[in-house]
Structure 1
Amino acid sequence: MQNLYFVRHGETQLNAADHVQGGDIDSPLLEKSIVNARKTGAFLKQTAISRVISSPQLRALDTANYILSEFNRELPLETDERLKEFRYGNWEGLYIPDIAEKYPETFRHLRQEPHKYNPEQFGGETYPELIVRGTESVLHYAHQYPQEDLLFVGHSILWTATLLSLVGFEIKDIRSQSPLGNTSVSRLIRTGDTFQLDTWNYCDHLA
């Protein structure tokens, strides 16, 4: 049995301002997010995690390093380009309420009907494309280090699509769970080629 932990990065300036922040844009963590990342580290250091894999985007990598600062042992940290956030093309950086008003049907599909989402008009990424790279990354590290518990640090929609796909959700149901909070912890339990969703969007450690 292998435990795989997944943390969403801390809240950033663009998050707080309600702007799109996908795989081709970045923004600094808020001060409170640094505190919460350290709380997440204090919580996770009690586990048997022995390796960390992060998105290379600064908000995720900074979160990973703040988490590791609370551990009383050295853990290897590596990055994987496949763990970048969902790419929104020309929507990157735009004010979300403006997008919802200008593209109501596409925005509804993004949030509520992912099987109908088509980002072609603004050069975005599709859910199947996101799922392929996210699951490839998780499976790669799970198989490379099968005797180790791993921590992955990344992004909200990346983890939503990847984790739920690994446990058997269809694309139409990918957005059916509660949105992942910043510095939330989710966990999959892997037994052979089977994945079980043990924890989703745990935030009690941030209180």
Structure 2
Amino acid sequence: MPTVLLIRHGLTAKTGPVLTGWTPGVPLDERGTAQAGAVAARLAGLPLDAVVSSPLDRCLQTARAVLEDRDTPGGLEVDERFGEVRYGDWTGRELKELAEEPLWKVVQAHPSAVTFPGDGGESLAAAQLRAVRAVRDWNERLGDEAVYAVCSHGDIIKAIVADALGLHLDQFQRIQVDPASLTVVRYTELRPFLVRLNDGGTDLSGLVPVNQGDSDAPVGGGA
């Protein structure tokens, strides 16, 4: 039953005030570099079958930190399907400015209906579909007992989590994914299990695969 560790990239100088999107050449800043190192340290004792990244610089840097001093088959794998939502004309604009746009309220309340304006603008539904397909493809490629990491972006991780929980995409804005946080989903034959969400610092030793064959949820929560 494969387990995917979804890592959001560390902070950049633009994270927060600006919708960076697919803007090229936006590296981690000093804070983000430290965050990437901290994530790598947390994962150091956990065997990983693969480390996969969005092709954008901020994710590649975070993923490379995780791979440093680690013998992972295949090295760093890049999958464009884990790349950021293509925000079209919104890319590079300040969030406080975008909040005045009529589309902003739709993004908040009815994201499944949103297609971002302009050349190359993507719908949030299409972004979710490609990301979920990517996870399923990697699950099949790596096998039932795999534990692997994917470094991606906030909205993409939220969309994957919404799918894992069986939530309509319109509910995905209720999910929070902070920079350099860890979210873990374990996929079984019957259903996915959300194991961690927006985890910023707890022990990860419990993620080592042990007796994962049962697709049933423990009644009462289990031990």
Indicate the residue corresponding to 2:194 in structure 1: 197
Per the alignment, residue 114 of structure 1 pairs with: 111
**Cα deviation, residue 106, structure 1:** 0.9
Question: Residue 48 of structure 1 aligns with which residue?
Answer: 47
Give 5+ residue unaligned stretches, structure 2.
Answer: 203-223
Deviation of residue 163 (structure 1)? 2.3
TM-score for the superposition, normalised by structure 1 = 0.89
The corresponding residue for 1:91 is 90
After superposition, the Cα gap between the structure-2 partners of 1:31 and 1:127, relative to the gap in structure 1 and judged at 3 Å, is: same
Q: Is the 8 A contact 1:25 1:93 kept in 2?
A: no
Q: Distance in 2 between matches of 1:73 and 1:124?
A: 38
Q: Distance in 2 between matches of 1:201 and 1:151?
A: 14
Is the CA contact (8 Å cut-off) linking 1:25 and 1:92 kept in structure 2?
no
Q: CA deviation at 1:86?
A: 0.7
Alignment of 1:31 onto 2:30: yes
Structure of higher CA gyration radius: 2
Kept in 2: contact 1:28–1:59 (CA 8 A): yes
**Structure 2 counterparts to residues 52-67 of structure 1, below 5 A:** 52-67=51-66
Q: Which amino acid aligns with 2:181?
A: S
Counterpart of 2:151 in 1: which secondary structure? strand
Residue of structure 1 in register with 2:178 after alignment: 181
Structure with more of its chain in helix, by fraction: 1
Displacement of 1:74: 4.0
| Equivalent in the alignment of 1:171 | 169
Deviating more after overlay: 73-82 vs 58-67: 73-82
How is 1:151-162 mapped onto 2 (pairs within 5 angstroms)? 151-162=149-160
2:66 counterpart letter in structure 1: I
1:72 Cα deviation from its structure 2 partner: 4.4
Cα deviation, 1:59-112, whole Å, max 9, x if unaligned, reads 10011001222x4434521001111101110111011111112x1x31122133
Cα separation, 2, equivalents of 1:84 and 1:56? 6
Q: Kindly provide the amino acid, as one letter, of the partner of residue 13 in structure 2.
A: Q
* CA deviations over 1:119-157 (Å, ceiling 9, x no partner): 246752111110111011111100111132110001100
* Inter-partner Cα distance in structure 2 for 1:113 and 1:204: 32
Size of the alignment, in residue pairs? 200
CA distance in 1, matches of 2:109, 2:44: 35
CA distance in 2, matches of 1:51, 1:167: 24
Q: C-alpha displacement at 1:39, in angstroms?
A: 0.7
Question: Which sections of structure 1, spanning at least 5 residues, go unmatched?
Answer: none
Cα 1:74–1:172 shift into 2, 3 Å: closer
- Counterpart of 1:135 in structure 2 is 132
Structure 1 residue 49 displacement after superposition: 1.7
> Retained in 1: the 8 A contact 2:50–2:72?
no
Partner of 2:141: 144
Normalised TM-score (structure 2): 0.83
Question: Counterpart of 1:4?
Answer: 4
Q: What is the DSSP-based 3-state SS (H/G/I as helix, E as strand, rest coil) of the residue aligned with 2:197?
A: strand
Q: Matched residues in 2 for 1:169 and 1:24: separation?
A: 30
TM-align CA RMSD: 1.8
Query: After the TM superposition, which parts of structure 1 deviate over 6 Å for at least 4 consecutive aligned residues?
Result: none
Residue in 1 that maps onto 2:221: none
Q: Specify the code of the residue in structure 1 equivalent to 2:8.
A: R
